[in-house]
Amino acid sequence: MGTNPYSAHWFRSFCVTVPPEWTRLDVEGLSALLPFSEFGEVLDIGCGTGRVAGPLADLGYHVTGIDSSPEAIATAKRLHPNASFIEVDQRDLDQIPSEAFDSCLVLWHSFGYFTSYENELVLNGIRRRLRLGGRVVFDLFNPEYARLHTGKQQSRGLDVISAETSIREDRLTSTIDYIDGHRDRIEFQIYEPAVFTEICRASGLQVTQVLSNWKPVDHVSREHVRYQMVLEAIEA
């Protein structure tokens, strides 16, 4: 598994197609969960081109975005000069030149790319970078929904011919073919909410709220494409 599963092709094809309304809802949901007065110092892990980091910085948050894609970081710096962006692998969070953050974002399932052991090390790194009582918001694909929607989709628009997803045990693989012959194969671990709760707790992160579409839910059902989990940094 590489240090960054998303190619320049992916960023050019998919980031530009995210509807502005989706970004607005993400930013509104996050700002409600992370009031600036308490959680103003933000670390955005897997920030991509700064789709969320930039608007949060516009609201006054002090945002540091990290990504292991040099192309994405270069674009983020150009588009959002009011936030800070660093090319860093999420397994190396101790390289970030900053004190503890108030909050951390891991959006659009920017997690689970590595082995189970390495993924847990990422969680440990997140806990180390958060102050005690700090919050992390994960936005994750729902395995129950994903298992019902595997297979190939034709013509995703722009320069994408097809995208095919498959699931084996707890890992999802997405194969994307582009019109110029380039192919991306992206693989990551997917988590049932109960399982994710347990591994986070072992890293010193305790669940305080579960949401879908930024609205609290009692249960993540098969209708929910993604779910959000809010966790608090506690004493390990």
What would the pLDDT profile of 106-160 be if each residue is shown by its tens digit? 998 999 999 999 999 999 999 999 999 999 999 999 999 988 888 767 555 567 6
Residue 165 has pLDDT above 60, yes or no: yes
Q: Which two tokens stand for residue 102?
A: 């108030």
Q: For residues 120 and 236, give the distance between their C-alpha atoms in angstroms, rounded to a whole number.
A: 14
Query: In degrees rounded to 5, what are phi and psi of residue 22?
Result: -65, -45
Bridge partner residues of 41 (DSSP) = 62
What would the pLDDT profile of 178-220 be if each residue is shown by its tens digit? 888 777 788 889 999 999 999 999 999 999 999 999 999 999 9
**Mean pLDDT value of segment 74-81:** 96
In sequence order, what DSSP letters do the residues of 180-228 get, joined into one string?
A: TS-EEEEEEE---HHHHHHHHHHTTEEEEEEEETTEE-SS--TT-SEEE
**CATH architecture type of domain 8-142+192-233:** 3-Layer(aba) Sandwich (3.40)
Q: Where are the domains of the chain?
A: 8-142+192-233, 147-183
Q: Between 131 and 15, where is the model more confident?
A: 131
Q: Where are the beta strands (DSSP E) in the chain?
A: 41-45, 62-67, 84-87, 101-106, 130-141, 151-157, 160-168, 171-178, 183-189, 205-212, 215-216, 226-233
Query: In degrees rounded to 5, what are phi and psi of residue 61?
Result: -65, 145
pLDDT of amino acid 3: 46
**Mean pLDDT value of segment 48-64:** 97
3-state secondary structure of 2: coil
CA atoms within 13 A on the CB side of 226: 16
Q: For residues 210 and 217, give the distance between their C-alpha atoms in angstroms, rounded to a whole number.
A: 6
Vertex 112 angle, CA 25 and 62, to 5°: 45
State the distance between the two ends of the chain, measured CA to CA, in whole angstroms: 29
In sequence order, what DSSP letters do the residues of 91-107 get, joined into one string?
A: GGGGGS-S--EEEEEE-
3-state secondary structure of 119: helix
Q: What's the whole-number average pLDDT of the chain?
A: 90
